[in-house]
Structure 1
Amino acid sequence: MLANVKLDKLVLEYGNIPLNFFHALEEEGEISNIKSTEGFHYHRCLQISKKSNAYIKFYYQSKYEIWKPFGKLRLETHPKYLSEFSTLLKKLKEISRDIYFVSTDVAFNIPLPLNNIFVTSNTGRQMNIFQGTRYFGGKGQRRKHGYCRIYDKKEELASKGIVINDELTRVEIVYKPTRPIKLEELLIEPPSFNKLYTGTIINLDNQLTPIYKAILICLLSGKMAINEFSRHYRRVLKKQLDSQEQIDFDHVLQSAWVEQISTIKGILLGESNE
């Protein structure tokens, strides 16, 4: 299967950051206050934006610990924007004792129509459908490990005025370890998604009995969710799908993970990738 993987939204954590660090932000771009995330109450929450559309968000120190002279700083951005904030990130590295990885969105881009991609949860997560996008996880779980959404990337790009000729489906899964990981150790702890989800490329002409072909048509069109069928139908459908091409998320991710994490480390730690 031809597919590529990109790391999307990236969240990092820095320790030992003094409040006066924020004076260094004045020359970086347009600064605006933003809302807190994940229900935490931070002392400072702001976003820096550049004319190029590059952005970086900062969430600083719990409001309940503002008496401390130093605090934790969470940083959120897209990996492709890191180089545009290299001066600022260098200052952060000089101040902080450690840099920790918190989470990232892993995007699998598959050059096929959305109605050819079927994903099921291996851990009992129910799928919901909203405006054509399939979700595994509720609204409040957006930043939780394993949250997944599948959507028509070609259609999304078109809505932004970007036209591509080929079909494109995106399967996006959140990787958030149970604890923050030191950036230096990240390469030895790649995510594994095969245990969370089974992905299948559907060819309705391949060895499917009529009733299960009809079920798949309903599922792929977004008219029904798999949890609306009985356990019997779900169990037999799983066997029927053995004849279809499987998406090995872990294999697709393996080489891309090393390459992209190495690039991120190089920017954040000032290391050479050669």
Structure 2
Amino acid sequence: MLANVKLDKLVLEYVSIPLNFFHELEEEGEISNIRSNEGFHYHRCLQISKKGGAYIKFYYQSKYEIWKPFGKLRLETHPKHLSEFSTLLNRLKEICSDIYFVSTDVAFDIPLPLNNIFVTSNTGRQMNIFQGTRYFGGKGQRGKHGYCRIYDKREELARRGIVIDDELTRVEIVYKPTKPIKLEELLIEPPSLNNLYTGTIINLDKQVTPINKAILICLLSGKMAINEFSRHYRRVLKKHLDSQEQLDFDQMLQSAWIEQISIIKGFLL
């Protein structure tokens, strides 16, 4: 299956940034005080936006360390926006002691309807549905490793006034290592996502018994979760899923990871 794969939201961490540098940024964006981000309370938060939608967010220093003259600066943006802030990023590179990769969202855009894509967790995460989007991960887990959401990308684009003719489903998975990695040491080898999720392209035109077809329809529509069925039906269903076309997330990510991580490093190092 051909899919367009790209890295979406990118989070980095800059070490040993002086407080006076953060104050210099205050004139360029909208600043707010203490804010919680994934359970960590930052003393200052700042977002700088440009025309066309380019943005960059900064989170500076723990609220418990505001007395320190230097602190950690966490940066969040979309990789495609890095060129818009090249001057600022070059300045950060000059004054920091290290740059660490924290996380990124890996987005798979699959040219098929949402109801033809079935994804199951290999680590026991339960799927939830809200306003048509399927989530693996609860509230407060948005930036956690393995958080996943699946939605109708064509519909989402239409809400923003962008019309496309073809069907499009997005599967988005967060990759966050157990600890930040120095950007210069970030492995070119892409992470494995197949160990987190199994994706299947469902073709109901294939020979399927009525009862199993009904189960698949319930699962694809989000009316029921796979754990609501008995072990017997789950075993039978697995046989049907194994006979369908599989989504190999690792294979799809292979070339995109090498290319896009190289581009990111080119802007930041």
Q: Deviations over 1:146-165 (max 9, x none)?
A: 00010000001111111000
Gaps of 5+ in 1: 270-274
Match of 1:197 in 2: 197
How far apart are 1:69 and its partner, in Å? 1.6
Give the corresponding residue for 2:87. Answer: 87
Moved over 4 A (4+): none
Mapped partners of 1:238, 1:44: distance in 2: 49
| Structure 2 SS opposite 1:112 | coil
Structure 2 residue 219 is the aligned partner of structure 1 residue 246: no
Amino acid at match of 1:110: I
Q: Distance in 1 between matches of 2:167 and 2:98?
A: 42
Q: Which residue of 2 aligns with 1:272?
A: none
Q: In 1, Cα distance between the equivalents of 2:15 and 2:99?
A: 7
Per the alignment, residue 7 of structure 1 pairs with 7
1:30 to 2:34 alignment = no
RMSD across aligned positions (CA) = 1.3
Contact 2:106 2:172 in 1 (8 A): yes
State the number of aligned residues: 268
Report SS of the residue matched to 2:43: strand
What CA distance in whole angstroms lies between the structure 2 residues aligned with 1:70 and 1:189? 33
Could you tell me which amino acid in structure 2 is paired with residue 249 of structure 1? F
**Structure-2 residue corresponding to 1:131:** 131
Q: Name the structure 1 match of 2:109.
A: 109
Query: d(CA) in 1 for partners of 2:45 and 2:230?
Result: 46
CA distance in 1, matches of 2:6, 2:224: 30
Q: Are 2:188 and 2:261, in contact at CA under 8 Å, matched by a contact in 1?
A: no
Is the 2:29–2:48 contact (alpha carbons within 8 Å) kept by the matching residues of 1?
yes
- Which residue in 1 is equivalent to 2:51? 51
Contact 1:13 1:74 in 2 (8 A): yes
1:180: which partner in 2? 180
TM-score normalised over the length of structure 1: 0.94
Distance in 2 between residues matched to 1:53 and 1:33, nearest whole Å: 20
1:110-140 Cα shifts (integer Å, max 9, x gaps) = 0000000000011111111111111111112
Conserved? CA contact 1:187–1:258, under 8 Å: no
Instruction: Measure, in 1, the Cα distance between the counterparts of 2:17 and 2:9.
Output: 22
- d(CA) in 2 for partners of 1:231 and 1:51? 54
> Would the alpha carbon gap of residues 37 and 26 (structure 1) be closer, same or farther in structure 2, given more than 3 Å must change?
closer
Check the 8 A contact 1:137/1:147 in 2, yes or no. Answer: yes
Tell me by how many angstroms 1:73 deviates.
0.6
SS of equivalent residue, structure 1 residue 207: coil
AA paired with 2:263? T
Deviation sequence 1:155-214 (CA, Å, 0-9, x none):
011111110000000000000000001111223452111011000001012232221111
Which residue number corresponds to residue 236 of structure 2?
236
In the other structure, the counterpart of 2:68 is 68
> What CA deviation, in whole Å up to 9, does each residue of 1:67-95 have, x standing for no partner?
22211110001111111000000010001
SS state of the match for residue 76, structure 2? strand
TM-score by length of 2: 0.96
